[in-house]
Amino acid sequence: MLRWIPTSCLVLFCGLLFFPALADRDLTSSHEARAAQNAQMMLDEGHWLVPRLFDRHLELQKPPLYYWLVAFIGWLNGGVVNAWAVRLPAALAATMTVLFLNYLGCRSGRPLAGFLAAAILASCVHFTWLARVGRIDMPLTMTITVALGAFYLGSRRWQALGYAAIGFGLLLKGPIALILPAVVIIATWIIRKLGPAHSPLSTEYAVLSTQYSSLARSLWWGAPLTLTIAAPWYIWANIQTDNQLFEVFFWYHNVERGLGGSEALATHPWWFYGPRAIIDLAPWSLLAPLGVYLFLRNPESRKDDVARFGTIWFIAILFFLSCMRFKRADYLLPAYPGLALFLGAVIEKAWQTQPDFSSCRWRKTLTTSFATLMLVYAGGWLTYAFAFAPDRDQPYRALAAAIRRQTSGPVVFFRAESHVLAYHVGRPAPTVLEWENLEIWAAKPRVVYYVMPEACAEEWRQNWPHIALEPVMHSADFTFGPNDRPLVVMRSDGRSARN
């Protein structure tokens, strides 16, 4: 009975961090709004295999698994996709990642290390935040964590789980779900083969050293298992889109974004993830230097496979992502479990072997301090979730409601990639990019509303006055934030057709 107490505490901790007030905030990013649109279109029009946005354009930025999950929750919600449906898969994935890290420690004979690693991971500030946001990075982190942990455990059954996790990761975000575990495994192999015997990562106790031959032998059946899960959708979708999936998803969103080949994407220097990790892994990034010191000072820690595994996991992914030109703070999320595992293993070894920690007084003090820190952290997030996070004004929702009070017809988005507003406006919401096409819409013998950036409205006044439009609303009237792109709502009544 007592062995379930740590797991129960982690479930309660995750429940307090990830789920309260999850739907109180409006959709806050294009990622969440695209997921909502894609899932709603699946439920309403059956576009399950190749998702579509409300403007009926194909959604080829990501594979569909996350949108399937959102649609399933929306179906349970009576066919309505809302903020809860969009964010719940991320919160559940975060909880499963935390619990799997705890289970990995228990399965490896290191229950204290697993519990500490799980609690540390859950209480990294950026991990907690992304557990409450409808982004694919959290479910991707879950699949990568399961894959690496399963390969570490090494039996055929666990290897099958690892290969299956990679297959589902490919359906979440594409090749990166395969590349990141491969980077960790290759880095481990290099250290095992080339590391000097006196190195803290020496070959004698190398991570996965006993599993390599077994893992290599399993490729003949493991790779087909992964492809059986993921390949059918990729092949079918590429055929149905006339090779657009390869050109848009694989080439643009993976190769060009990763290598910085697109001028439309901002690039960052190689050291970008260093400062970000210090901020995003707080408060535990402050403990990392002490963890490194204990790891190097304690002979038992230097022989610890779990600590080595976590070290290579974190550093290998950090190094690989730092080599990419296009970077986002969220992309480093799959490395977090590695650092948490390292810190959990090092703290456990120090707890067991350091004379300073052997007395009952010290152990009671450290246990009380850790529990207090976790309670304060949970209390801080609960306060934020209920008191500060909800966007009660919800400007996009208010603007959309104001537009819909004027018309139930099409609302044309002209050069305005505002997925949150489009989600709230609802269908029909076609997208137009060229002035000639806008002129065609304005010539229709009926009232049509348009959403466009403020700069386009100014360009219309200067260069396209023959297109009869009338300004009716401005986003500044709806308490938009300073970082939101100013939008103008225009109206035509068919006068261009009569002229």
* pLDDT at res. 208: 52
Cα(226)–Cα(85) distance, integer angstroms: 28
Q: What is the largest CA-CA distance in the chain?
A: 91
* pLDDT at res. 170: 96
> Residue 45: pLDDT band by 50, 70, 90 thresholds?
very high
Q: Which residue has the higher pLDDT, 310 or 264?
A: 310
Cα(440)–Cα(265) distance, integer angstroms: 31
Res. 328: pLDDT tops 50: yes
> pTM here?
0.92
Cα(414)–Cα(399) distance, integer angstroms: 16
What residue segments make up the domains of the chain, in order of their start? 2-388, 395-498
SS3 488: strand
User: Which DSSP string do the residues of 60-122 spell out, in sequence order?
Assistant: -SS-SHHHHHHHHHHHHTTS---HHHHHHHHHHHHHHHHHHHHHHHHHTT-HHHHHHHHHHHH
> What's the mean pLDDT in 107-130?
95
Res. 277: pLDDT tops 90: yes
> What's the mean pLDDT in 404-426?
91
Res. 200: pLDDT tops 60: no
pLDDT tens string 47-56: 999 999 998 8
Cα(151)–Cα(137) distance, integer angstroms: 21
* pLDDT at res. 356: 59
Which of 18-22, 122-126, 151-155 is predicted least confidently? 151-155
